[in-house]
Structure 1
Amino acid sequence: MLICKNIEVDFDGFKAVNGVDLTLDRGEVHFLIGPNGAGKTTLVDAVTGLAKYSGSVVKDGEELRGKKVHHIARKGIGRTFQTATVFEDLTVAQNLDIAAGAGRSPWALLRRRKHLPANVVETMDRIGLGKEADTPAGILAHGQKQWLEIGMLLVGDADVLLLDEPIAGMGHEERDTTGRLLHDIAADRAVAVVEHDMDFMRAFADRVTVLHAGAVLASGSVDEVSGDPRVQAVYLGTATDEKEPADAATA
């Protein structure tokens, strides 16, 4: 569903991403892993229009390099951040209704509606928040906020989801629920997950791409990647572990 070719991101002479090829397929949960500084978040920033890059990103036959962030989002590419970005003063239902209302005027978005669209109701149930429709998003548990943000992408018709550390700060039960949700979503979408948690990756990844120093170190199934001596070396700490400049660049 998404084809990235020879992606390079340069920050004043430092190559944060260096010649990365990546293909995301419908029906797969594709994990992007690697040590800090590997270029994972920077790659996602490039795909979503938040970082300038050279190379090619193609979705549905259209080249997206140079397109604005809103155009890329309208092409069905959605992302989450490490800290959930939801409207905390609005309810769960209102957050989803606004995310689903790309075709409505600003005044219509602000008006309370007696009946929610069917896709909003269905998505609340799908993300496990059906009983929290009238709950302000600000008082949701950490994991629930992450699920709400994913739901906002779903009602906005994103079919390529790029999720940045979606289980950070979650307990064991929330992590398992999130993993099952990702597989449910991936049935008719492409899902990429930037993650550090190896147990979560082993439990829920269909495919894994390992980045190191801005380049692809290995790619394949969980077993193939886990058995690669180069990957083992990186995670044993024999490779350089530098802080990734992506957050500063994005800000």
Structure 2
Amino acid sequence: MTLTVNDLRVEFDGFVAIDGVSLTLEPGRLHFLIGPNGAGKTTLVDALTGLAKGSGEARYRTRDLLALASHRITRLGVGRTFQTATVFEELSVLQNLDIAAGVHRARWRLMLPRRGAPERVAEVMETVGLTELADRPAGVLSHGQKQWLEIGMLLVQDSSVMLLDEPVAGMSAEEREETGELLRRISPGRTVVVIEHDMDFVRRFADVVTVLHAGKVIAEGTAAEIREDAQVQLVYLGEDA
């Protein structure tokens, strides 16, 4: 289901961080948000997930996300990751995923003893490539594996909108490629939005690219179209263009 953002504005003590942004985020496409530091990318995601107060409208499943508390947004199927992975490092991969899956379970069910990996959790571990590490503490995972675990935690929550904040930052070239292929596998039927600075990764995997600058959308299109945009070259791509 499409997430439609209309005239979103976020202001902090007189500073306008997001200035009238409108976006159409459709399922089945990898939609990338790029722009220089301070462009408003993370603030936009914060507003859509209830962590920053915004005006305008963000319509999803007949609801306006801007009017909902963060936990209600999560229950509506909108999930996010952060630049630094937020996993329970002392718990195993399996336990992290099982806890995440519990967001949609009744409280009394969370207290019941568990035997083995629930079917959905096992499926997700296979999808994100962590099955063989199921019993390892999350704290010993590589940076890339922690990011995959976070994505898996959104999958077990049945997040139909996934907002990912720089998921390949600090990854090796091999991990970046595996992450891109993972995003392609999970995008059918989901709305996947990626904040990213790695332009090689953007060119390799993006279906749609939106460029933000000073809180405004200055361009949108394919990676090739964005690369040729004179304003984008001026404010963001520079020599890389």
TM-score between both structures, scaled by the size of structure 1:
0.91
- The within-5 A match list for 1:18-97 is 18-97=19-98
The CA deviation at 1:114 is: 1.6
* Other-structure match for 1:126: 127
* Other-structure match for 2:100: 99
Alignment partner of 1:233 is 2:238: no
Amino acid at match of 1:213: A
Superimposed CA distance per residue, residues 26-85 of structure 1 (whole angstroms, 9 cap, x where no aligned partner): 100000000011000000000000001110011012122221000001110000000000
Other structure's SS at 2:234 match:
helix
Other structure's SS at 2:7 match:
strand
* Other-structure match for 1:7: 8
Other structure's SS at 2:102 match:
coil
Q: Distance in 2 between matches of 1:108 and 1:181?
A: 31
TM-score between both structures, scaled by the size of structure 2:
0.95
Amino acid at match of 1:136: P
Other structure's SS at 1:196 match:
coil
The CA deviation at 1:13 is: 1.2
Residue identity over aligned pairs, in percent, reads 60
Other structure's SS at 1:102 match:
helix
Moved over 4 A (4+): 105-108
* Other-structure match for 2:222: 221
Aligned partners of 2:65 and 2:73 also within 8 Å: yes
The CA deviation at 1:115 is: 2.6
Other structure's SS at 1:94 match:
helix
Q: Distance in 1 between matches of 2:142 and 2:37?
A: 27
- Root mean square deviation, CA, Å: 1.5
| Unpaired segments ≥5 residues, structure 1 | 239-251
Q: Distance in 2 between matches of 1:42 and 1:75?
A: 20
| Unpaired segments ≥5 residues, structure 2 | none
Amino acid at match of 1:109: L
Distance 1:139 1:6, change over 3 A: same
Superimposed CA distance per residue, residues 158-203 of structure 1 (whole angstroms, 9 cap, x where no aligned partner): 0100000000110000000000001111012010000111000000
Q: Which stretch has the larger CA shift, 60-69 or 96-105?
A: 96-105
Other structure's SS at 1:97 match:
helix
Q: Distance in 2 between matches of 1:58 and 1:109?
A: 31
Aligned partners of 2:207 and 2:222 also within 8 Å: yes
Alignment partner of 1:203 is 2:208: no
